């Protein structure tokens, strides 16, 4: 049985690219399943997100992981993606990008997962050599190492979005999958 398609304009991938088309949403498409946050000493935190597609994990084309201030939701207001840490992972090319500081578009520079490159904005940097994508059956596991700027300090909510090979986005893009706290820079005392 095929489930009906819905349309929504407020999806992270569509809003980042300027809301040029309604994004199809189907309840039987790719879905985020879980998120684990493994804090390290300092500002680096590792995120492991699992996505599932009934047609196989390789059917997922892109993933977006949004680490956002606690008072912001994807599509919640105009310029919602500015000054946030939003990471886009394109699976076929293994490329990672972040949003610009002004939001609304992806940085032109990208990094290849597993390389020595880093991509960043003023909120976070993605450490590509410690980031990966692994497909196993219907699941896709994304691992990201994020280095947060001290100016981005505070409690953050994490949202997960995925798009399948037909361009269909997951329906639960406004669901909070996890939280983390970015520590402020503390000056050493003598």
CA angle 95, 182, 123 (to 5 degrees): 45
Distance, CA of 96 to chain centre? 10
- CATH class for the domain made up of 5-180: mainly beta
Q: What pLDDT is recorded for position 77? A: 55
The answer to whether 80 and 72 have CB atoms below 8 angstroms apart is yes
Model pLDDT for residues 7-32, shown as the tens digit of each residue: 333 333 333 433 334 455 555 678 99
Give average pLDDT by consecutive 10-residue segment, the chain, 190 residues.
36 37 60 88 84 95 91 63 87 94 82 95 94 97 94 91 90 85 67
């Amino acid at each position: 049985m095929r489930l009906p398609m819905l349309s929504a304009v407020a999806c992270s991938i569509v809003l980042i690219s300027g809301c040029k088309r309604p994004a199809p949403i189907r309840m039987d498409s790719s879905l985020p399943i879980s998120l684990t946050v493994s804090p390290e000493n300092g500002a680096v935190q590792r995120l492991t997100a699992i996505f599932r597609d009934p047609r196989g994990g390789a059917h997922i084309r892109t993933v977006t992981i949004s680490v956002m201030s606690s008072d912001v939701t994807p599509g919640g207001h105009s310029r919602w993606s500015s000054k946030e840490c939003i990471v886009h992972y394109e699976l076929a090319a293994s490329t990672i990008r972040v949003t610009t500081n002004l939001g609304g578009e992806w940085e032109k520079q990208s990094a290849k997962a597993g390389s020595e490159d880093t991509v960043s904005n003023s909120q976070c940097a993605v450490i590509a050599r410690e980031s990966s994508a692994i497909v196993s059956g219907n699941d896709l596991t994304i691992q990201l190492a994020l280095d947060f700027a001290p100016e981005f300090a505070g409690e953050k909510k994490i949202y997960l979005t995925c798009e399948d090979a037909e361009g269909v986005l997951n329906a639960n893009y406004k669901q909070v999958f996890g939280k983390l706290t970015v520590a402020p820079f503390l000056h050493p005392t003598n």
